[in-house]
Amino acid sequence: MSLVETIENLARGKKNLRFMEVCGTHTVAIFRAGIRNILPENVELVSGPGCPVCVTGDEYIDAAIAYAKMDGVIIATFGDMLKVPGSAENLAEVAAAGADVRVIYSPLDCIKIAQENPAKRVIFLAVGFETTAPTAAAAVLAARNLGVTNLLFLSAQKLVPPALKMLLADSAVRVDGFLLPGHVAVVTGADAFRFLQVPAVVAGFEPEEILLALVNLLRQVDEGRAEVANEYKSVVRAEGNLAAQKILAQVYEPVDAEWRGLGVIPKSGLKMREEFAAFDAEKVLPLEIKKSARKTACRCGEVLRGVIKPVECPLFGKACQPLHAVGPCMISVEGICAAWYKYGGLRL
């Protein structure tokens, strides 16, 4: 019996079920493979806040832009941050006006840029989940060991488990289980999600792996269980990557953080420990950024919570398209709206 047939058999006669994936790579993989369209009518996959760029608030972008406009500053960033809107403009527009904004592929690239530009300050926009945060921490340690003193980090890393706890407590969000992020779980370990009181499965990214995880979720529902299962055992261990966790804990400590659409979530972000204050952009070059929400009909925040589908946003596919996106959900390659727009043909 195929996995699809097994899913159909397990779903037969059950109430409508909503399973949320909280990984942007899962979102893209699911759309690319057309998995949503082959599921039974009563099984729905809904995308959650699995894109770190998307959940980053306007104030962070405003701070990055303010730094970019300073004399003697080089901004280093991943490419999908360039067009994320702040309250008035984005980094791409600032770069076009003359600011030195450089796209890098690893935080370690920033060390070379700093060494080649000793008279300038290099500020890395450290945005990501547990997947990339250890690499940023490793770059901090490497810079200190090499005596690089002109490299700073503007931190906006987020931690996934606290966000899932917030989603479960949100009365507007109804989920019957989670497809847990495989890449994040490589670092955190499957045990980091044991607090969940609904069925949850750590999943891989191939279509067969995602379908296998859905079978596991449906079996848990069928048997009245709520466990954290690991269907990505080839790379994910229960305890996670202890070396990466050690580096992360050495450089960073948890802090309350704001997520687009979810608000402030306790202990869901990372800030540098006092020992590394010399690398913390907010401490070395403090700014006063006024909170100024953009006036827009964009409903990215509700999309990130799984409360609405992208097509329910009045801007989707009209004023908001990949080439002239209004919100980050359409800008990032892992954004939910970008995936809906690119792959289309979905059962609504």
* pLDDT tens per residue, range 240-250: 999 999 999 99
Please report the pLDDT score of residue 346 as a whole number: 44
Residue 253 inside a domain? The answer is yes
The 3-state secondary structure of 61-98 reads HHHHHHHHCCCCEEEEECHHHCCCCCCCCCHHHHHHCC
Residue 137 inside a domain? The answer is yes
Residue 36 inside a domain? The answer is no
Residue 193 inside a domain? The answer is no
Please report the pLDDT score of residue 344 as a whole number: 73
259 close to 163: Cβ distance less than 8 angstroms: yes
Please report the pLDDT score of residue 104 as a whole number: 96
**Which parts of the chain register pLDDT below 70?**
292-295, 345-348
In angstroms, the CA 120 to CA 105 distance is 20
Residue 71 inside a domain? The answer is yes
In angstroms, the CA 33 to CA 120 distance is 46
Please report the pLDDT score of residue 206 as a whole number: 96
Q: What is the pTM of this model?
A: 0.93
Please report the pLDDT score of residue 235 as a whole number: 96
- For the segment 192-217, what is each residue's pLDDT rounded down to a tens digit? 999 999 999 999 999 999 999 999 99
As for how many domains the chain has, the answer is 1
Please report the pLDDT score of residue 78 as a whole number: 94
Please report the pLDDT score of residue 271 as a whole number: 97
The CATH number covering residue 82 comes to 3.40.50.11740
Please report the pLDDT score of residue 161 as a whole number: 97
Residue 292 inside a domain? The answer is no
Give the domain extent around 110.
58-159+240-284
Residue 297 inside a domain? The answer is no
Residue 147 inside a domain? The answer is yes
Looking only at the bridges linking them, the beta strands covering 263-272 and 252-259 are antiparallel
CA-to-CA dists, residue 253 to 57, 63, 249, angstroms: 20, 21, 6
Beta strands in the chain, from DSSP E residues, in sequence order: 17-21, 43-47, 73-77, 100-103, 121-128, 151-157, 177-180, 200-202, 228-230, 252-259, 263-272
Please report the pLDDT score of residue 292 as a whole number: 62
